[in-house]
Structure 1
């Protein structure tokens, strides 16, 4: 197994994180974060979005996304790791309960502490929700 404090190890950690996101695996996601992880969401009332601190708050946020959009997925285009920082570029897709479709590009900025992620800041394009296509579920 690769040492999680090397760039290769941190890239592997990001690959595990996004695989867990796409499995909707809360335990797998949380295993990638420090206990005091800070997650700055893509939207919210503050300049940094909405800040969630600690595994319980971060877990609840992702469970909420998976519940609201059961088909949600992040398709990773690239991970770039430089020391204790990293970026992940992705395509976020999902269908809301009303049938509206979300498909936007985004990026996460990460900071590592040791072999885990201590900070995640999400950014994504602001694109209107697309209407449900004919024949798809509302």
Structure 2
């Protein structure tokens, strides 16, 4: 299995909700790094199984799409969109990048930058002001 086969197998497993096929895409000693949320990183494909068991149960119609990819040696860069409806009828939408290290046709590790899409935090000015701790000039008027 090469990089393209790994991605094809991952997409098929997610979209067909095949937990065993999904878990089989990952090495037993798989390492997940989540740089934006360091405490969420983990080791081992059994955590992959626990995560996706919850996802398949919580978003029974989940669908994955990978609109863009790039390969550099043993690195597979992937841009993801995961969508569906949660069991509480809320919308589920995540987008972001997962950078896999592939060996022996399996995901050996990843750097995970996939996040829920949110639409309520305001425009880029509001986000920048929150980021650097400056007050919104509109609030002072």
State the TM bucket, normalised to the shorter chain. 0.7 to 0.9
Aligned residues: 120
Greater gyration radius = 2
* Structure 1 segments unaligned to the other structure (5+ residues): 131-138
What corresponds to 1:95 in structure 2? 85
What corresponds to 1:31 in structure 2? 24
1:98/1:49 Cα in 2 relative to 1: closer, same or farther (>3 Å)? Answer: same
For 2:115 and 2:45, the matched residues in 1 are separated by 26
What corresponds to 2:131 in structure 1? none
Runs (4 or more) in structure 1 with deviation over 2 Å come to 39-42, 46-49, 102-105, 124-130
* Structure 2 segments unaligned to the other structure (5+ residues): 121-141
Cα RMSD over matched residues?
Answer: 2.3
- Offset of residue 83 of structure 1: 0.7
What corresponds to 2:40 in structure 1? 50
Check the 8 A contact 1:38/1:119 in 2, yes or no. Answer: yes
1:83-133 per-position Cα deviation (integer Å, ceiling 9, x unaligned): 111111121102122211122422111012232111123223443389xxx
